[in-house]
RNA sequence: UGGGGAUUGGUGUAACGGUAGCACGACUGACUCUGGAUCAGUUAGUCUAGGUUCGAAUCCUAGAUCCCCAGCCA
């Protein structure tokens, strides 16, 4: 039995444990900025950080990296906590970088006193200009102020004496460093803004680089795991900690998640919401945790997905079908089966007695014998799926057609003997069939076979419902694949939501509550939407079942 | 033109100088009262060129390609 594969971060931790680098501790953290909703990419990070802590018997904190009050909001703080919990994780400590602002301020004075930080009066444009280009930058004229003047100015910045943007506190490092992050990075900027967590206590706010490492240090984090784009920041992370002479965690970078047919940047997710391309952060088409949850995904499926895709430093793009496979796999085992007809086609069983009703036993879950059975009513007038009948069936189509016999699941074999059509459009509006009483329950005593088994509902007993069919938000695997001059919005899928309002479901669904998940046999997995009410059910399609016929059919069309 | 990373089947991911493996997909077939599920099989890969070595995905040299960095965002 080969040892299970370990990713590079586990190997680093193993090594640190062996050398006793952190006294045998493992302490991670998930550090979101509360400026948006969490998405599936964050789930990867959450599973990684909390998963590592669990695996090594360590701890994992949830810390809000709330250093930019103009973008942050209490709504996001609450949503993030809900999402982390929903994913199945419990943090050891709940912290806010903003609770460290006083300590951070004291440390800033320490650096000033050490001659390693200075107050700079350059405008934002000048700072950019002085930072220079690939060849090098030039030093700020304010770089060599005296310690006393710096201290005085910095205290007055804190006291609110200066307007936004007029001054900054910068670290004195190296204006010619090939790493731009070391060209005297800004530590504090003046921002007279109310903060969602600490209110109006501050008018100077620390930059990410100045806050993050020290926050990790305060919390005793051992392994500070972040995404690849922060690799360039690690020298600065290390520089601040060393300059301060405080406990020094280890920053490790991994590749963030990319998925086909969607976007995962916060900026774009905000745009989708604010520009009305979706109905909100929890729109089931969104790759947000809230959207995916509403769509009907399970936390187990998401965790399995995060495990499957692995952790590495290669910038990969994961095919979204991998995510879909995970939810199918999970729901296949757990979701109760029911019958529901999305696009109803009326079927009259000519030789079935008027007014008669029979009840058939239906298996709730073939993957789980303990799920038991339920009764499904059958009568003379039924609905089947429009897709399940073709007047002239193409090759390899083996559902219902004139003269053909199929099985109605759990009920009878029926044969199509006629149809009524709309005189104007020619569309088939009603089917006439006969049933074979000898096939009661679904098997023929003479052992004859049928090639198809259809789902159905009894017209008189069916529940009417709305069903929302979701498809990918974008029409191309890479939403950025656009003609010159256009952007990802050009690839928005106009069919990403199709609402069906005339669906018919078996009566056992009458008591279904928001969040309940089912497999509609032969169609897919569906979940009751929060908009649903007794008597006015609303379902979201989580994902279709694997559909071999659809594949055959689209291959035929291509020919 | 500077710096930091990366590169293994279609997509991900292992192999840590010694048989290139696994998962997903795709394709066959079996089975099936879901064209679902399940089972069996097939397919297909080390970025390039040199070198070291009995032996290289792995080490060395040169090159190619891709990603990130010049916010008072994170």
Any idea which nucleotide's C1' is nearest the CA of A181? B69
Strand B atom within 7 Å of A310 CB: yes
Any idea which nucleotide's C1' is nearest the CA of A524? B36
Is-contact A51 A9, C-beta < 8 A?
no
pLDDT, tens digit (0-9, with 9 covering 90-100), for A145-200: 999 999 999 999 999 999 999 999 999 999 999 999 999 999 999 999 999 999 99
Task: Give the residues across from A188 on adjacent strands.
Answer: A169, A206
**ipTM of the assembly?**
0.96
Chain B bases closer than 7 A to any CB of the protein: 1-8, 10-16, 21, 23-27, 33-38, 66-74
Report d(CA A301, CA A327) in Å as an integer: 5
Please tell me the predicted confidence (pLDDT) of residue A557. 83
Strand B atom within 7 Å of A379 CB: no
Please tell me the predicted confidence (pLDDT) of residue A559. 67
Any idea which nucleotide's C1' is nearest the CA of A314? B6
Residues of chain A below pLDDT 50: 1-2
Order of strands, sheet of A337-338, starting from the edge strand that comes earlier in the sequence? A337-338, A517-520, A524-528, A537-544, A463-470, A497-505, A340-341
Task: Give the residues across from A30 on adjacent strands.
Answer: A62
| Residue at the smallest CA–C1' distance to nucleotide B73 | A68
What distance lies between CA A251 and its chain's CA centroid? Answer: 25
Q: Which two tokens stand for residue A545?
A: 């079942």
Strand B atom within 7 Å of A6 CB: yes
Distance A314 CA to B54 C1' (A): 34
| Residue at the smallest CA–C1' distance to nucleotide B10 | A319
Strand B atom within 7 Å of A322 CB: yes
Active-site option among A155, A256, A415, A489 = A256
Q: Which of residues 456-515 of A touch strand B (CB under 7 A)?
A: none
Please tell me the predicted confidence (pLDDT) of residue A1. 43
What distance lies between CA A43 and its chain's CA centroid? Answer: 7
Instruction: Kindly state the DSSP code that residue A195 receives in the 8-state scheme.
Output: B
Report d(CA A228, CA A257) in Å as an integer: 11
| Residue at the smallest CA–C1' distance to nucleotide B4 | A232
Give yes or no: A55 in active site.
Answer: no
Any idea which nucleotide's C1' is nearest the CA of A234? B4
Give yes or no: A33 in active site.
Answer: yes
Q: Which of residues 158-217 of A touch strand B (CB under 7 A)?
A: 164-168, 178-181, 185-186, 189-191, 205-209, 212
Distance A516 CA to B9 C1' (A): 40
Distance A263 CA to B4 C1' (A): 25
Alpha helix stretches (DSSP H) within A20-91: 40-55, 74-86
Please tell me the predicted confidence (pLDDT) of residue A4. 64
Element (H, E) at A349: strand A344-349
pTM: 0.96
Active-site option among A25, A131, A143, A266 = A266
Any idea which nucleotide's C1' is nearest the CA of A308? B23
Please tell me the predicted confidence (pLDDT) of residue A193. 98
Please tell me the predicted confidence (pLDDT) of residue A5. 79
Any idea which nucleotide's C1' is nearest the CA of A70? B73
Please tell me the predicted confidence (pLDDT) of residue A484. 84
A133 Cβ neighbours under 8 A, 6+ residues apart: none
Give yes or no: A253 in active site.
Answer: no
């Amino acid at each position: 039995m080969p040892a299970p594969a370990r990713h590079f971060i586990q190997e680093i931790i193993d090594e640190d444990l062996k050398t006793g680098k952190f006294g045998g501790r493992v302490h991670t953290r998930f550090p979101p900025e509360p400026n948006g909703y969490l998405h599936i990419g964050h789930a990867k990070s959450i599973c990684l950080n909390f998963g590592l802590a669990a695996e090594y018997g360590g701890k994992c904190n949830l810390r809000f990296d709330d250093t930019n009050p103009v973008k942050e909001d209490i709504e996001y703080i609450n949503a993030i906590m809900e999402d982390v919990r929903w994913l199945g994780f419990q943090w050891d400590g709940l912290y806010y970088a903003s609770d460290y602002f006083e300590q951070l301020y004291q440390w800033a004075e320490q650096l000033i006193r050490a001659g390693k930080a200075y107050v700079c009066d350059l405008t934002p444009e000048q700072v950019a200009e002085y930072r220079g280009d690939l060849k090098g930058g030039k030093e700020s004229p304010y770089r060599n102020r005296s310690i006393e003047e710096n201290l005085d100015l910095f205290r007055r910045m804190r006291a609110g004496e200066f307007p936004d943007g007029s001054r900054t506190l910068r670290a004195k490092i190296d204006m010619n460093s090939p790493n731009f992050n070391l060209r005297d990075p800004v530590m504090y900027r003046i921002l007279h803004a109310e903060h969602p967590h600490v209110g109006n206590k501050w008018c100077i706010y620390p930059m990410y680089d100045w806050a993050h490492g020290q926050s990790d240090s305060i919390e005793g984090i051992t392994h500070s795991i972040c995404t690849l784009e922060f690799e360039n920041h690690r020298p600065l992370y290390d520089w601040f900690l060393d300059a301060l002479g405080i406990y020094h965690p280890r920053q490790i970078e991994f590749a963030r998640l990319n998925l086909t047919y969607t976007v995962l940047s916060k900026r774009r997710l905000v745009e989708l919401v604010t520009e009305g391309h979706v109905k909100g952060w929890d729109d089931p088409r969104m790759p947000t945790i809230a959207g995916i949850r509403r769509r009907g995904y399970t936390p187990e499926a998401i965790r399995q997905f995060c495990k499957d895709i692995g952790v590495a430093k290669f910038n990969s793009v994961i095919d979204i079908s991998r995510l879909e496979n995970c939810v199918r796999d999970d729901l296949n085992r757990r979701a109760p089966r029911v019958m529901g007809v999305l696009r109803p086609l009326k079927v009259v069983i000519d030789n079935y007695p008027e007014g008669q009703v029979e009840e058939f036993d239906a298996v709730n879950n073939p993957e789980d014998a303990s799920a038991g059975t339920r009764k499904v009513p059958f009568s003379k007038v039924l609905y089947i799926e429009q897709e399940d009948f073709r007047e002239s069936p193409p090759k390899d189509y083996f559902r219902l057609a004139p003269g053909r016999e199929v099985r109605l699941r759990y009920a009878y074999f029926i044969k199509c003997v006629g149809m009524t059509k709309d005189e104007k459009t020619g569309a088939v509006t009603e089917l006439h069939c006969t049933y074979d009483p000898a096939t009661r329950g679904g098997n023929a005593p003479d052992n004859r076979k049928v090639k198809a088994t259809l789902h159905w509902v009894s017209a008189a007993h069916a529940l009417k419902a709305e069903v929302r069919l979701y498809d990918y938000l974008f029409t191309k695997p890479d939403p950025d694949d656009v003609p010159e001059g256009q952007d990802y919005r050009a690839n928005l899928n106009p069919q990403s939501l199709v609402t069906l309002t005339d669906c018919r479901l078996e009566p056992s669904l009458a008591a279904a509550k928001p969040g309940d998940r089912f497999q509609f046999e032969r169609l897919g997995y569906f979940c009751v939407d929060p908009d649903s009410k007794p008597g006015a059910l609303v379902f979201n399609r989580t994902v279709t079942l694997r559909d071999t016929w659809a594949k055959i059919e689209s291959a035929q069309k291509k020919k």
